[in-house]
Amino acid sequence: MDISTAKTIQDTLHQAKEGVGSDWIMHHILDSHELEIAPFGSIHLPHLSLFGLDVSITKNVVFLWIVAILLIVAFKIAANAYKKSLVPHGFANFMEVLIVFVRDDIAIPSIGKGYEKFLPYLLTVFFFILFSNFIGLIPNGTTITSNLAVTSTLAVFSFIVIQAGGMIKNGVFGYFKGLLPSGVPAWLLPVMLIVELLGLFTKPFALAVRLFANMTAGHIVIFSLIGLIFFMQTYFVAPVSVAFALFIYLLEILVALIQAYIFTMLSALFIGMAVHQEH
Amino acid sequence: MDFAFLAAGIGAGLTVIGGAFGIGKLAASAMDASGRQPEALGDIRTSMIIAAALIEGISLFALVICILLALK
């Protein structure tokens, strides 16, 4: 390696160091108005505004649509396979393993009798979070579940399903009465009521923040490890950096699966507690 | 005097101590239980993963606050 190549490498690293820092990491984590396709360039997305509200199409919106289209296509393929024979082969077989897992290990143990009404919602939430977490791990993909707005929306849907399920089964007043545990001294009842009402709101809030924080933290760790190469201004740290980042990537795959499972399981648990209040 | 970065660092460290202690204790009990009754290994493993994800959720709440501090 001659002196001019060495100088070029040093200049590149020096220039890169100017840009790396918390801004560089934040640029990759947060939403943006550009779609980046790495070696080629970026597509600028339109800014739209409706009645003063910002409804522009951002990176996360594009990937929301991509995940939605993927879900529809995947399940259309899986459903059509059942028209030919009762025993599925191939892709439909793989989907059946996951669907039966959600039904037998999440819905039935948590909700028990009457689980069929809630199974479509649980399946939708499970596969939506699973697909979005995995698409976020592909290069050039963004994790839409690392956006607090998306996870809050999922938590609001869970909240609506929990309350609606509980109120339809027990009646509006009976549902609130069932929130209070039996065998509680009378002077404790107002406190218990306030605590239980607060608990109704904190549980979906925790669902949203848990998913958001897990996804964002994983990506920040990966970007920090790769950014170490630029920050240290040397290529010798690259093998260590890439090895650690690969290990964290594998951990991220596990976390993606676990977080989808946890969100669905906790939603099913809360639905079960709301519907069958006598437990 | 800007203490935000210091606070974020110390906060993240304390959170990791709490989370790691909790999950370590959980894993130890799971190992004991599966040693006593190897047939229940599948159920124990599932419950262990669920509890670990919940404990990790708590430590990530604190991590979000630390990140907010560090970015101010």
pLDDT at A19 over 70: no
Per the listing, tokens 């259309």 go with A76
Look up the ipTM and state it. 0.81
- Give the phi and the psi of residue A217 in degrees, each rounded to 5: -60, -45
Instruction: Give the confidence band of A133 by pLDDT, cuts at 50, 70, 90.
Output: very high
Q: In this structure, is the dihedral angle defined by the CA atoms of residues B50, B58, B71 and A226, taken in order, positive or negative? A: negative
- Does the structure show a pLDDT above 90 at A46? no
Q: Tokens 């009990």 correspond to what residue?
A: B29
Of the listed ranges A15-19, A135-139, A156-160, A226-230, the least confidently predicted one is A15-19
In the predicted structure, residue A67 carries a pLDDT above the cut 90:
yes
- Is the CB of A214 less than 8 angstroms away from the CB of B60? yes
Distance set, CA A218 to CA A150, A215, A235 (Å): 17, 5, 24
Strands A53-54 and A49-50: antiparallel
- Please report the residues numbered 213 through 232 in chain A whose beta carbons come closer than 8 angstroms to any beta carbon of chain B: 213-214, 216-217, 220
Task: Give the pLDDT of residue A208.
Answer: 93
Q: Residues with Cβ < 8 Å from A121, sequence gap 6 or more?
A: A157, A161, A267
Instruction: Write out pLDDT tens, residues B14-44.
Output: 999 999 999 999 999 999 999 999 998 988 9
- Spell out the residues 6+ positions from residue A110 whose beta carbon is closer than 8 angstroms to its own: A265, A268, A269, A271, A272
Under a CB-based contact definition with an 8 Å cutoff, are residues B39 and B14 in contact?
no
Domain residue spans of chain A: 20-275
Query: B63 to chain A: which residues are within 8 Å by CB?
Result: 213, 217
**pLDDT per position as a tens digit, A136-151:** 999 888 999 999 999 9
pLDDT at position A129: 96
Q: Testing the interface with A: which of B46, B60, B66 to mutate, by most A Cβ within 10 A?
A: B60
pLDDT over 70 at A119, yes or no: yes
User: What is the pTM assigned to this prediction?
Assistant: 0.87
pLDDT at residue A13, as a whole number: 67
Examine the pLDDT at A240 and tell me if it is beyond 70.
yes
CATH number reported for the structural domain that contains residue B56 in this entry: 1.20.20.10
Q: Is residue A120 over pLDDT 70?
A: yes
Please name the member of A216, A220, A262 whose beta carbon is closest to the beta carbon of B53.
A262
Top-ranked range on mean pLDDT: pick from A9-18, A172-181, A215-224, B14-23: B14-23
Q: How do the residues of chain B divide into helix, strand and coil, expressed in percent and rounded to 5?
A: 95, 0, 5
How far apart CA A257 and CA A4 sit, in angstroms, is 48
- Give pLDDT tens digits for A249-278: 999 999 999 999 999 999 999 999 999 887
What share of chain A has pLDDT > 90, as a percent?
43
Q: How confident is the model at residue A20 (pLDDT cuts 50, 70, 90)?
A: low
Nearest of B67, B6, B30 to residue A30 by alpha carbon: B67
Chain A residues lying within 8 Å of B45, measured CB to CB: none
Residue B7's pLDDT band, with cuts at 50, 70 and 90, is: very high
Phi/psi at A50 (5° precision): -120, 115
Residue among A138, A101, A139, A140 nearest A122 (CA): A101
Q: Which structural domain, as residue segments, surrounds residue B10?
A: 4-71
Residue A140: exposure state from Cβ atoms within 10 A (0-12, 13-18, ≥19): exposed
User: Is B60's CB within 8 Å of A213's CB?
Assistant: yes
State both tokens at A108: 């039935």
A108 or A54, which is more confident: A108
Q: Beta-carbon neighbour count of residue B58 at 10 Å?
A: 17
What's the pLDDT at A220?
87
DSSP string for residues in A124-186? HHHHHHHHHHHHHHSTT---GGGSHHHHHHHHHHHHHHHHHHHHHHH-HHHHHHHHSPSS--G
Q: Which residues, in sequence order, are bridge partners of residue A43? A: A35
Residue-averaged pLDDT of chain A? 87
Task: Give the pLDDT confidence score for residue A134 in this predicted structure.
Answer: 94
CA separation for the pair A18, B50 (Å, rounded): 42
Give the three-state DSSP class for A53: strand
Å between B61 CA and nearest CA of chain A: 7
pLDDT at A16 > cutoff 70: no
Domain count, chain B: 1
Of B60, B70, B71, the CB nearest to A217: B60
| Nearest alpha-carbon partner for A215 in A65, A56, A60 | A60
